[in-house]
Amino acid sequence: MESNKKITLKVKGMHCASCANVIAKSLSKVKGVSEAASFYATEEAVISYDESKTDLKVMNQKLKPLGYELLEEEKIHAENHDQNHGQNHDHDAMLDLQKEKEQVEFALPIALFVFVSMMWELASKSFKFIPVLPFPESFWMSVQFILASIIFFVLGSGFIRALVTFVRFGKANMDTLVGLGTGAAYLYSVFGFFFPSLFSRFGLTNALYFDVTIIVISFVKFGKYLEARSKMRTGEALASLVKLQVKTALVKQGNDFVELAIDQVKVGDLIKIKPGSSIPVDGLVTDGESNIDEAMITGESLPLRKIKGDVVVAGTLNIDGVLFIKAQKIGSETMLAKIVEMVKNAQNSKAPIERLADKVSSIFVPTVLIIALLTLLAWVFLPGINLPFSQSLAFGISCMIAVLVIACPCALGLATPTAMIVGVGGAAKKGILIKNAESLEQLHRVTTVVFDKTGTLTTGKPSLERIVSFSDKTEEEVLALAAALENHSEHPLAVAVVNKAKAQNISLAKVEKFHNLAGEGVSGEIKNKTYWLVSEKFALAKHTMPKEKEFIANPGESLLYLLDEKNILAVITVADQLKETTQEAINKLKKLNIKLVMLSGDRQKTAEYFAKTLGIDEAIGEVKPEQKLAKIKELKAKNEIVAMVGDGVNDAPALAAANVGIAMSTGTEVAMSTAQATILRGDLLKVETAIELSKSVMKVVRQNLFWAFAYNVIGIPLAAGAFYPFFGVLLNPAFAGMAMAFSSVSVVLNSLRLRVVLKN
């Protein structure tokens, strides 16, 4: 019997995009692992496996020889999530970053001094007015040898391990390239330093590359430090959400309120919330009133007044009053926990545009190794170089080292995920929860937005306006029958009917054989007689309207018809109000030249009234869930990129079928679990915000990919000496190391620039 489990773990030793590919492929080959993916931007692996066939120990036996390790603490899918785990990982990451900083602070001044000396020496050979270095060359080479040895074997130990792994297992990554380049430079220089006579015997130019070893390793380490520091900042939005999780709560036990750890709180507990305290769980206010700051959850700056009967969510801040709440959702079931989970999953998902970079990165390192070897061979053996063997060999070695050093798949590997991480985190801060990177990418391409009406465009809190009886039943009797039927439904129109009956203290009869007629209404037996409360279309298809009774609906009214087996007994009119932000949201979407469609279960006239009022292009009324789904498919068949915005159970099929499903958090759990994005507080203005945010993210992604590809397309031929026959240009390996170090940093910094854009 299979026991499937899905976990997300931190990975130790992941230094580049190629590492991520090696880790994923290696884990996929472990027996019992059904799926494995690794992510360089977050240094995590997501693994689905059969617990009866494998475990973490077996997986690490596969990874450790390659220089990687899965850390034992589960970060996301653990049953009992320890809030300190994230803090522990952050602490470990900070320690690693501090260690890198200390190494850089040691090596960088040395590298800069050596670099300036190298440039001074080159300048003194070209310009007579610049004096030569004021110390003997033999002394300077001895100093460089000592410094290069320390930096190569201490700071470059990771590159040496990557070389050993490559020799033993044939697995290469970015560190392998740096290790090969600097290793070749160091060993060649050691050989020339200790055995200069042999160099002369073989006709080799006595060119030493200790300075290259020092400069390349120092600047690569400096680049890695800047990259790591920048990458930590990309996840700050998620970290800020995690910090909102409260560790303790004041729970009533007996006559007192006792402070308990949050994992000891149970559903149904009565909790006291003091002014200035964060709310620990999702709950219902049972007493007191206060202003609540929900900005950290919804992105809304204005506090909301909460009174008895209102719902409050974990992580929000109680500003000025004392509240007593009854715990409804705790732990992983709270909205905050689900937001954290959703943001984590989104940050560890891949957008379609990222697959291109992944494919390139997977073949990048072996391709570069081949190019480096061909570069050396070309300089030595290719006809037309017209250089003495000793000089062409020296040039060949220099160019080979430069190719190995300058090539960098990290910029490609970071181009998309860093921008996506910043984008998903920024969206969460604005109250837009995006489930995966693919949805974030799709949003900027949306050409049509389809809206549900009730609860999406409108408040979803309609009120009963009129009851018109066509029979001998009084309005109170009609309301009693209608409310009894609707008491079993969660539709907003049903709530309006039931609330009206409760307000008039009407007792509700027992209903037998209740049926929910999808998209049409409800039916059931009351005192052995069958009744229907249904749409106009259903009613008129079943019975004829009484001729002696006139009824004219007002614009915007929704109609519910009460029927028995023979006649239409009455019509109930219900009116809903537009949300405050609906008109502004529609206007903003129209400015983006997006086609707007409204689908509603209401009668066609009501749908058309709302559409005309708002300026929506197309309105279709009296639609069932399957018809909403069919409309989405129809639009997609016309090559439209469709976003569906809805809130109800009946919207779920359409939300799932759309290119991007957007659910209102004020709606049903089914809608939110089906959709690819959720808008907190149901603010429609966030739809346009999400689309614009996606455009900003994709703009940065394209910039990153362009520069990442351009860097390698130009840099590798330049390093190989391809321009030397035409322009006499050769790239010193030291410059190659500096360029490689800053290529990844530039991509991450460009992604971080999004944070400024998303604040506006």
Q: Which one-letter DSSP state was computed for residue 650?
A: G
> Are the CB atoms for 715 and 739 separated by under 8 Å?
yes
Q: Which one-letter DSSP state was computed for residue 207?
A: -
CA distance 589 to 448: 10
Q: Which of 269, 358, 452, 647 is catalytic?
A: 452
Instruction: Give me the residues paired with residue 12 across strands.
Output: 69
Edge-to-edge strands, sheet with 512-517: 463-469, 568-575, 557-563, 529-534, 521-526, 512-517
CA distance 342 to 473: 52
Taking Cα atoms as reference points, which of 305, 313, 303, 574 lies closest to residue 458? 574
Long-range CB contacts for residues 190-198, cutoff 8 Å, separation at least 24 = 190/145, 193/141, 193/145
452 is catalytic: yes
List phi, psi (to 5°) of 612: -65, -40
CA distance 395 to 398: 5
> Are the CB atoms for 595 and 697 separated by under 8 Å?
no
> What is the secondary structure of 234-301 as a DSSP string?
HTHHHHHHHHTS-SEEEEEETTEEEEEEGGG--TT-EEEE-TTPBP-SEEEEEEE-EEEE-HHHH---
Question: What SS3 state is found at 347?
Answer: helix
CB neighbours (10 Å) of residue 285?
20
Question: What SS3 state is found at 534?
Answer: strand
Maximum Cα–Cα distance for the chain, whole Å?
120
- Dig out the tokens for 355 from the structure: 């697959």
Taking Cα atoms as reference points, which of 206, 326, 339 lies closest to residue 266? 326
CA distance 742 to 719: 16
Question: Look-up: residue for tokens 């709530």?
Answer: 495
Cα within 13 Å of Cα(257), Cβ side: 13
Catalytic residues: 452
